Structure 1
């Protein structure tokens, strides 16, 4: 018999053979939601898993907000299409709330109501980015930011800060990352995943650097009311007015009012850009759910007493989780000043033996913690910085103490 003819090297699938587009196929699943889903699945299967994965307050939405939604359900006005960019009364209330909480005066025409903060972030980037435009992204970053940038055709450029600076980047680092392709700076304070809060002077310095170089800034203010101790939230366009014509603010009701499932966010920015984003939304989703918009109207128009109660609970949990994590040899956890996340370094534990295994990465360590301690945490790789874990402390006090106690016991067994 003659020798078999060598097979040709397989070629990449052609555009007609590709089942999922390259653009969408390149998107990664949300790591935080994946961890949360796995924890819930294990719990449903009977395992006593405690989840520190999702950034979701454990409180119910305040009653007055729920009642507003109930009334909206009964009103035929809200059974029909409404303006794609948001209910006029809600846009006006968001403008008033922005002045009240941030000292930033805007008009209702500068507001676009979106299906949660994620849609706000994507549409904001989509409205200002052209293919190849670079966005400076301080890391650790929330997992959705780079994906939204890429989906909008942009290129994320990471600038990494670590625990030695409280996870805050400097103007010198930003300047080193700036190129002729840089168009946007992403600015997040308070931060997910680290809880870092930039001081007023730091915020102003960064804003003036952006103005000097003609950059756009997208600033995510969704954790504006969740700051602790001496930390203070500072709104970038309020403190640097010269930036307002090139600044997009994204926000929403999810974190402040325990409304993660209601899916109402918004963009505040220059009228032409907001109008462009609204045009996109008119084809993508049309109006946000009317009942949820009425609930959001009640939330942003009401006082902040319910928010203060939740913040006090988060503050208590913040102090507990930081203390307990820092009791573990090999774990270093800075004190978060905002949001509801702890972001400890576990680099000193990598490579050590723990119950017969030697995790080399924080991905492997988080998998070990889930398998052995039945506690779900998110590895730092999801946020652009391997060697860390993110733990949300937006869960009940008893679960928090029990979960970290399990981690303490497991990691306390680490040996060389």
Structure 2
């Protein structure tokens, strides 16, 4: 028998597939897990890593879940694409909140926003198709694109433009392989919010070049000051046949652990994604769907209370971070994150160490101040840190006070 070729030998010996092996761990979840492990070991770690509201899910939503647990119809399989009543309620909620009219048949209920993002990309991308991804980006976007066979093409914006990319930048990144542009407003990790004119300009550019748009609207209700959420397909209706909207209940209703998201899009794409989900996971947990139905069907009073708290924390964290020499923190207009530049601190000595990048700086901060933050490398832009201000007021002030004390020691 002839010896195996090197390539065949390599494939035979590989224990994890190249496709899955190339996926990196979620940096935000890794930081959160490490912070929780240290806290469990008795260390007083304060975590700014996970984008998770510190509020409990509102009572009326929990009550709906309890009632669903007792209903035998929810003890059985339900349609893979979602409960019909929830899909109808999501369509009604979308018209109410976004001014975008869709039919229930254009909705697919998913196991959280991450599954929605992957399935949306998987339904439209062929191997080698390019997706323009504005950076800083949430860590899951490029990994979902690659897993779906696509190629992420980064377009970087920084604090000088409020972390917003321009049509000119998008056009410079467009090639004959470009199929999709990702649009996220409000943004994770930066909190940037695109105004109506900017949103419309990007939408019309996409229409002009026949591109698909995937728009993530998960933070739609978390905007502050004069900023306003603008739904892309609502302001550019010509785009609706090539637009996929991703959303969910996690952030708006403090339901991160319930794992309910959705895709809204053209019927043929939603049907294809539903077919994929029917084999991958089948229906979303019925009790969670019942809770989501109560959430999207109810009023937004609980959301308003949470938004007021986030706004207060936003102003506090920005003020305190900007008091640190070497930190530049723009004011976010949405979501619940700040994304300060720490470039001026790199290479400076802090307690005998000289961090050369934001990964090393984040590690130093965790070791010396017992504060968990996520380095900018996770979001495609080294030299920054992401901090979530969705944690409680006291922890927020204590955590940033520790940062102030530690980073004040930085010397040339």
Same fold at TM > 0.5: yes
1:2-37 superposed Cα distances (whole Å, 9 cap, x missing partner): 999xxxx99895222211000000000000000000
Q: How many residues align?
A: 412
Partner of 1:77: 73
Secondary structure of 1:352's aligned partner: coil
Alpha-carbon separation, structure 2, partners of 1:100 and 1:313: 24
Q: CA deviation at 1:403?
A: 0.1
Alpha-carbon separation, structure 2, partners of 1:144 and 1:2: 43
Moved more, 12-21 or 382-391: 12-21
The alpha-carbon distance between structure 1 residues 132 and 2, as it changes in their structure 2 partners (threshold 3 A), is: closer
Q: CA deviation at 1:210?
A: 0.3
Partner of 1:245: 241
Alpha-carbon separation, structure 2, partners of 1:229 and 1:10: 61
Partner of 2:194: 198
Alpha-carbon separation, structure 2, partners of 1:214 and 1:255: 32
Aligned structure 1 segments of 4 or more residues deviating by more than 3 angstroms: 1-4, 9-13
The alpha-carbon distance between structure 1 residues 312 and 2, as it changes in their structure 2 partners (threshold 3 A), is: closer
Q: CA deviation at 1:80?
A: 0.1
Secondary structure of 1:250's aligned partner: strand
The alpha-carbon distance between structure 1 residues 11 and 130, as it changes in their structure 2 partners (threshold 3 A), is: closer
Alpha-carbon separation, structure 1, partners of 2:118 and 2:99: 25
The alpha-carbon distance between structure 1 residues 46 and 218, as it changes in their structure 2 partners (threshold 3 A), is: same
Alpha-carbon separation, structure 1, partners of 2:282 and 2:168: 42
Secondary structure of 2:117's aligned partner: helix
Alpha-carbon separation, structure 1, partners of 2:85 and 2:7: 56
Alpha-carbon separation, structure 2, partners of 1:12 and 1:394: 50
TM-score normalised to structure 1 length: 0.97
1:65-103 superposed Cα distances (whole Å, 9 cap, x missing partner): 000000000000000000000000000000000000000
1:119-139 superposed Cα distances (whole Å, 9 cap, x missing partner): 000000000000000000000
Alpha-carbon separation, structure 2, partners of 1:216 and 1:254: 25
Alpha-carbon separation, structure 1, partners of 2:206 and 2:328: 33
1:226-285 superposed Cα distances (whole Å, 9 cap, x missing partner): 000000000000000000000000000000000000000000000000000000000000
Alpha-carbon separation, structure 1, partners of 2:129 and 2:6: 34
Partner of 2:394: 398
Alpha-carbon separation, structure 2, partners of 1:213 and 1:2: 52
Secondary structure of 2:9's aligned partner: coil
Secondary structure of 2:131's aligned partner: strand
Matched, 1:333 2:329: yes
Alpha-carbon separation, structure 1, partners of 2:19 and 2:141: 16
Partner of 2:403: 407
1:289-322 superposed Cα distances (whole Å, 9 cap, x missing partner): 0000000000000000000000000000000000
Alpha-carbon separation, structure 1, partners of 2:2 and 2:123: 62
1:363-383 superposed Cα distances (whole Å, 9 cap, x missing partner): 000000000000000000000
Alpha-carbon separation, structure 1, partners of 2:151 and 2:8: 24
Secondary structure of 1:95's aligned partner: helix
Partner of 1:26: 22
Partner of 1:51: 47
1:141-191 superposed Cα distances (whole Å, 9 cap, x missing partner): 000000000000000000000000000000000000000000000000000
Alpha-carbon separation, structure 1, partners of 2:8 and 2:160: 45
What RMSD over aligned residues (CA atoms) do the two structures have, in Å? 2.8
Partner of 2:312: 316
TM-score normalised to structure 2 length: 0.98
Partner of 1:2: 2
Alpha-carbon separation, structure 1, partners of 2:299 and 2:9: 57
The alpha-carbon distance between structure 1 residues 22 and 104, as it changes in their structure 2 partners (threshold 3 A), is: same
Secondary structure of 1:248's aligned partner: strand
Q: CA deviation at 1:331?
A: 0.3
**What 5-or-longer segments of structure 1 have no aligned partner?**
none
Partner of 1:151: 147
Alpha-carbon separation, structure 2, partners of 1:11 and 1:379: 36
Secondary structure of 1:406's aligned partner: helix
Alpha-carbon separation, structure 1, partners of 2:2 and 2:311: 77
Alpha-carbon separation, structure 1, partners of 2:282 and 2:273: 12
Secondary structure of 2:149's aligned partner: coil
**What 5-or-longer segments of structure 2 have no aligned partner?**
none
Alpha-carbon separation, structure 2, partners of 1:197 and 1:95: 24
